[in-house]
């Protein structure tokens, strides 16, 4: 049976108590050019006999009304102020809620619930006119019931409002209020001025992540409509195979450092670029990390990340041992401090909020500890929770278990078809060749 979903008429969910009518400023870290898009997240839940007769759509919709009392700016609308600065009109208009029913059992979807999930258009319905940055709902949530009693919660978030940490905080509050709490354990804090540019702003660090080469940008833009996505699973065996490629006289690096260095090198080889072409690896660094010693209130739910880049000539990256890429990745940490964060905020103001470079840039966001796989609305933890696909040249590491129950990292990558064939072959030969039962999940964008 073909998979289909019936979408009921969308509704606006508003706070169930009066909330302040006011204008709020988002931070200059919120207002990076690279956050000006709608971010999808999805979670799938199995049938739970202890919740028999309870409608997840009703529970979640009612819980959203309570949660928005505490997170009332999310019920507002973005508008543009002087110098294109984005502000929030906290007018209580509400978030979009879509109730839907699927015609099959959840288990029939199999591995397609994992990135790159091919069903997103059905599970996160793009309500006409709702996906803009200005004047549109800041959050859309769809609850899709499956015929077996399982369900999916699809989320589309205006990324200028919060990052993965902030969204998880919101979902934790929703979970607590659904299950009877009167107040979230962590009370949300706005305080976006903490990540604003200085006065006067001054760029004090080097930021190659925003350096744009027009020819390379145009070349990538030409390819964007032709990309395909595949997801690759890296468990302990695969990571160990990568680790063995790093020369023993080099310090080993973390699992994440090894993985992104490996992916960057062999992705670049697969693209077949000219040796003199400049390539970048950019990965998202959470400002809240203890290593940065940057203190934010526990309830701060705004965007709190920077995305430093490392740069190499394609020929040097491709011809050097993997340890070359690993060492470059590790050096990024040396530049991460409060001054770097302040410099990024200042750059946004001085340079007009640029996006991250598209010039042969591979951007990776490590969502392994985001916690979307732990959100429990009363039906238990999801069988999958996380960002459901790569977004153009941005990939997301999500925690999953493979068919054997082994824990690992799943990452969806976008490449042109011929480059993807080359990349898949080299990844298989260098990591999966001796691992039985590997699943590579494929989706055309």
The CATH 3.30.559.10 domain(s) of the chain lie at: 12-195, 208-368+389-433
Q: How far apart (Å, rounded) are the C-alpha atoms in residues 269 and 227?
A: 17
- Cβ-Cβ contacts under 8 Å for 182 (sequence gap 6 or more): none
Mean pLDDT, rounded, for 160-173? 97
Confidence of residue 441 (pLDDT cuts 50, 70, 90): very low
What is the C-alpha separation between 179 and 157, in angstroms, rounded?
Answer: 23
What average pLDDT does the structure give for the chain? 91
Q: Which of 119, 125, 159, 207 is catalytic?
A: 159
Indicate the pairing of strand 309-313 with strand 394-401: unpaired
Mean pLDDT calculated for residue range 265-283: 94
Per the annotation, the verdict on 159 as an active-site residue is: yes
User: Which CATH superfamily hosts domain 208-368+389-433?
Assistant: Chloramphenicol acetyltransferase-like domain (3.30.559.10)
| CB neighbour list of residue 73: distance below 8 Å, 6 or more residues apart | 24, 88, 90, 138, 161, 190
* Dihedral (Cα; 19, 20, 24, 27), 10-degree rounding: -50
The token duo for 92 is 């209580």
Give strand pairing partners of 86: 80
Q: Which two tokens stand for residue 305?
A: 């990340």
Q: Coil, helix or strand for 161?
A: coil
What is the model's pLDDT at position 223? 79
- Residue whose tokens read 């202890």: 50
Cis peptide before 200 (omega within 30 of 0): yes
Largest CA distance in the chain: 63
Task: List, as one string, the DSSP characters of 278-300.
Answer: EEEEEE-EETT-GGGT----TTB
User: Which listed CATH number (3.30.559.10, 2.60.120.330, 3.30.70.260, 3.40.50.970) goes with 12-195?
Assistant: 3.30.559.10
Task: Please determine, for residue 4, whether its predicted confidence score (pLDDT) is greater than 90.
Answer: yes
Q: Would you call the peptide bond into 416 cis, given omega within 30 degrees of 0 as the criterion?
A: no
3-class SS of residue 45: strand
Cα dihedral sign, 245-246-252-255 = negative
Respond yes or no: is residue 376 known to be catalytic: yes
Is the pLDDT at 304 greater than 50, yes or no?
yes
Using pLDDT thresholds of 50, 70 and 90, give the confidence band for residue 432. low
With tokens 């480059």, the residue in question is: 419
First to last CA, the chain: 23
| Residues forming a β-bridge with 90 | 22
Judge whether residue 133 has pLDDT over 70: yes
Q: Inform me whether the pLDDT recorded for 245 exceeds 90.
A: no
């Amino acid at each position: 049976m073909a998979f289909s979903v019936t979408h009921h008429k969308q509704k606006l969910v508003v706070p169930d108590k009066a909330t302040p009518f006011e204008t709020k400023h988002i931070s200059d870290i919120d207002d990076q050019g690279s956050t000006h898009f709608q971010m999808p997240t999805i979670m799938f839940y199995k049938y739970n006999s202890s919740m028999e007769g309870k409608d997840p759509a009703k529970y979640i919709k009612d819980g959203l009304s309570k949660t928005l009392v505490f997170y009332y700016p999310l019920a507002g609308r973005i508008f543009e102020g002087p110098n294109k600065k984005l502000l929030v009109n906290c007018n209580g208009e509400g978030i979009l809620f879509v109730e839907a029913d699927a015609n099959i059992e959840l288990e029939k979807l199999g591995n397609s619930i994992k990135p790159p999930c091919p069903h997103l258009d059905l599970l996160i319905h793009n309500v006409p006119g709702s996906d803009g940055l200005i004047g549109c709902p800041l959050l859309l949530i769809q609850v899709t019931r499956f015929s077996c009693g399982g369900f999916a919660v699809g989320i589309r978030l205006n990324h200028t409002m919060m990052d993965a940490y902030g969204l998880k905080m919101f979902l934790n509050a929703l979970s607590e209020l659904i299950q009877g709490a009167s107040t979230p354990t962590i009370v949300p804090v706005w305080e976006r001025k903490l990540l604003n540019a200085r006065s006067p702003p001054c760029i004090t660090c080097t930021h190659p992540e925003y350096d744009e080469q027009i020819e390379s940008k145009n070349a990538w833009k030409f390819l964007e409509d032709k990309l395909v996505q595949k997801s690759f699973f890296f468990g302990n065996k695969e990571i160990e195979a990568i680790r063995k490629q790093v020369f023993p006289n080099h310090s080993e690096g973390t699992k994440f450092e090894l993985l992104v260095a490996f992916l960057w090198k062999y992705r670049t080889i697969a693209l077949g670029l000219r040796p003199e072409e400049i390539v970048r690896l950019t990965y998202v660094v959470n400002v809240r990390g203890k290593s940065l010693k940057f203190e934010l209130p526990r309830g701060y739910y705004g965007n709190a990340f920077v995305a430093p880049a490392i740069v190499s000539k394609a020929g040097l990256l491709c011809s050097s041992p993997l340890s070359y890429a690993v060492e470059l990745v590790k050096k990024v940490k040396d530049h991460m401090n409060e001054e770097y964060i302040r410099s990024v905020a200042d750059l946004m103001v001085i340079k007009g909020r640029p996006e991250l470079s598209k010039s042969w840039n591979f951007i990776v966001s490590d969502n392994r500890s985001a916690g979307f796989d732990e959100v429990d609305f009363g039906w238990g933890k999801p069988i999958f929770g996380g960002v459901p696909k790569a977004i153009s040249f941005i990939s997301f590491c999500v925690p999953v278990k493979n068919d054997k129950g082994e824990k690992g990292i799943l990452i969806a990558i976008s490449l042109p078809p011929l480059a993807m064939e080359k990349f898949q072959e080299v990844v298989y030969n260098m990591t999966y060749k001796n691992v039985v039962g590997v699943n590579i999940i494929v989706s055309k964008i």
